[in-house]
Amino acid sequence: MSIRRQFPRFLNVGVVSTALDYLVMVLSRRVAGLDPVVAALAGYCCGGLLSYVLNRRHTFSTQRSHMEAGWRFAVVMGVGFALTGILMALLADKFGLPYVPARLVTTAVVFIWNFLAHRMWTFAPAV
Domains of the chain, by residue range, sit at: 3-122
For the stretch 78-106, pLDDT in tens is: 999 899 899 999 999 999 999 889 989 99
Residue 2: pLDDT band with limits 50, 70, 90: confident
Full 3-state SS string of the chain: CCHHHHHHHHHHHHHHHHHHHHHHHHHHHHCCCCCHHHHHHHHHHHHHHHHHHHHHHHCCCCCCCHHHHHHHHHHHHHHHHHHHHHHHHHHHHHCCCCHHHHHHHHHHHHHHHHHHHHHHHHCCCCC
For the stretch 23-69, pLDDT in tens is: 999 999 999 999 988 998 899 899 999 999 999 989 987 888 889 99
